[in-house]
């Protein structure tokens, strides 16, 4: 490969311009990658919260089903307040 001082000045300018563009694209790519990592982390937390809420709703449904079963059997139902969120 030729030494830098032996290369055509126009070619050197183009090479420098291309390297600068490459640096800018790499910086943008780094930002996109960072944002994707943040989004992925947030989605994981959101998914966990949804799973917890789903499990809570399943428990509430089981409780209500048990109350309905008691009512259908003409039994008394213990009063337990259910907080729906």
Q: What is the pLDDT of residue 8?
A: 84
Q: Is residue 55 part of a domain?
A: yes
The more confident residue out of 5 and 49 is: 49
Residue 74 sits in which domain range? 49-85
Q: What angle do CA 47, 49, 55 make, to 5 degrees?
A: 105
Summarize pLDDT for 13-64 with one digit per residue, the tens: 999 999 999 999 999 999 999 999 999 999 999 999 999 999 999 999 999 9
Torsional sign, CA 19, 23, 29, 32: negative
Q: Is residue 82 part of a domain?
A: yes
Three-state DSSP class for residue 45 = helix
Q: What is the pLDDT of residue 39?
A: 95
Q: Is residue 73 part of a domain?
A: yes
Q: Is residue 40 part of a domain?
A: no
Structural domains counted in the chain: 1
Q: Is residue 37 part of a domain?
A: no
84's CB contacts (< 8 A; 6+ apart) are 60
Q: Is residue 34 part of a domain?
A: no
**Interatomic CA distance for residues 32 and 41, integer angstroms:** 14
Three-state DSSP class for residue 84 = coil
Q: Is residue 7 part of a domain?
A: no
């Amino acid at each position: 490969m030729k030494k830098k001082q032996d290369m055509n000045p126009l070619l050197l300018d183009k090479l420098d311009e291309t390297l600068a563009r490459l640096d800018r694209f790499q910086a943008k790519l780094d930002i996109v990658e960072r944002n994707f990592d943040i989004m992925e982390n947030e989605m994981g937390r959101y998914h966990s919260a949804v799973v917890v809420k789903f499990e809570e709703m399943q428990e509430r449904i089981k409780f209500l089903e048990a109350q309905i079963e008691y009512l259908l059997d003409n039994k008394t139902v213990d009063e337990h307040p259910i907080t729906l969120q």
